[in-house]
Amino acid sequence: MKTCNCPRCAHKLSDSSDPTGQGLRPAAGDITVCVFCSTVLVFTEDLGVRLMLRPEFEQLVKDDPRVLEHLGRAMIAARLMRIKIGLTNRN
Ligand SMILES: [Zn+2]
């Protein structure tokens, strides 16, 4: 991904990880979670990020309800990362 700022919390985002452990790299349209605020984001064509719109989220869940499980895991991982690096939800 390219270095950019989270559109929700403005923290600098410069890297992403594959929660499946397969070493996959992000592609346009993939979803991710901000490690700092757990907001659901979408990778853009230039591999920046934007906020996921509510209709997009609803359609995503409708198409594959397992996405909620994946997002839950990503949000837990983000929270653990915040604890590990000493950030609170307000940082
Ligand atoms: Zn954020």
> Per-domain residue ranges for the chain?
4-84
- Alpha carbon dihedral 52, 54, 58, 63, in 10-degree steps, equals -30
* pLDDT at residue number 22: 85
- What does the pLDDT read at residue 43? 95
- The list of the chain residues with pLDDT below 50 reads 91
Rounded CA-CA distance 12/61 in Å is 28
DSSP string, 41-79: EEE-TTS-EEEPPHHHHHHHHHH-THHHHHHHHHHHHHH
pTM of the model: 0.80
- Ligand 1 geometric centre to CA of 37 (Å): 4
Q: Which residues does 80 contact at the CB level (< 8 Å), separation at least 6?
A: none
Separation of CA 41 and ligand 1 centre (Å): 9
Ion ligand 1, residue ranges at CB < 5 A = 6, 8-9, 34, 36-37, 39
